[in-house]
Structure 1
């Protein structure tokens, strides 16, 4: 009789421990989901477009809450939705997902993968931006924008004129000579609802605060 009771206690103890571990794992998964969905955004920088602020291959964390309670500001390094990637041909398409890929014509449905970019906010809603002689000018100013964060002076010899619509932002990479940023997009402006998070911290490979 004593042996049977001992076996029952051991079995009950094992089941209780298993349930406890399951509860811990479920709780951890729920917390991680809430954090990544509502609090933080985790992003990898695949190219050198933000060097030397963020090097290629680095991973960064941004605050989703920052743009929930305040507006983007000029100079912010931001994570935003650029477009989506076709699961069939791999083409990256600007803007909202479509039922059919404009590159290959395949049916996409809900399978399109959202593409996030990391760039710096240069133009605010209502701004007029002129790029002349490899300098950025705002709102008709005779003095170019002070940009201590750029990797090196622009050497593109291009002239541009942009008028940022209300509720939109103009984004550029810090590595201007090697950044396929808003200057070259079909739609040059990112709407407010596409702004996901402000980047504050790089955690890989070198932990540091992002300015």
Structure 2
């Protein structure tokens, strides 16, 4: 094929691409928005979800009106462990979400005495508690297998396992990993 023939074929291909390949702008926008919505739903359902802290039961770690990100993946790959801050469905009303610190796991015996935590008879340091905090005694009680004992860091202002009992594993939503609001409190949750 000569040069002139190649030029005609090339021009014809350009014209065909223009006719076929150009979609209306609204179709491109709709497709982009649909993909973004699907990704957002998948991420929120299976990966990360924002939560609001409505009370002071976790102070000083989490304050009232903090907004946090909860990882729903962590507990798919590892077991919850003592010290984790966990979001879960409230056992007495699973439509409500609670956030507390995991204190003891199934098979452990938990007790609170003279303002100190004991697991299996051994004192457990709790550096995250407000200084000088005093709270009532509890236990000793053994945590059933497949359950957890949950407490708020602000022990005198917390509706927790001392009141409503042990948390079944199937009610766990995820692990609190990040405070994202207010801006002056942004950081990793410990």
Normalising to structure 2: TM-score of the pair? Answer: 0.82
SS in 1 for 2:161: coil
2:172 corresponds to 1:172: no
Aligned residues of 1:152 and 1:176 also touching (Cα < 8 A): no
Quote the residue 2:7 is aligned against: none
Distance 1:151 1:56 in 2: 15
In structure 2, what is the equivalent of residue 146 of structure 1? 125
Structure 1 residue 21, shift from structure 2 partner:
1.3
Question: Tell me, which stretches of 5 or more residues in structure 2 are unaligned?
Answer: 1-21
Question: Which residue in 2 is equivalent to 1:86?
Answer: none
Partner Cα distance (2:136, 2:158) in 1: 15
What does residue 69 of structure 2 align with?
A: 61
Considering only aligned residues, what root-mean-square deviation do their CA atoms show, in Å?
Answer: 1.8
Q: Which residue of 2 aligns with 1:189?
A: 166
- Provide the C-alpha distance between the structure 2 equivalents of 1:137 and 1:184, rounded to a whole number of angstroms: 18
1:7-51 Cα distance to aligned partner (Å, 9 max, x none): xxxxxx8x8111111111111110110001000122110001111
Unaligned runs of 5+ in 1: 1-12, 84-93, 97-113
Give the drift of 1:95. 5.0
Larger fraction in helix: 2
4+ residue segments displaced more than 4 Å: none
Matched positions, count: 168
- Give the number of the structure whose alpha-carbon radius of gyration is greater: 2
TM-score when normalising by structure 1 = 0.75
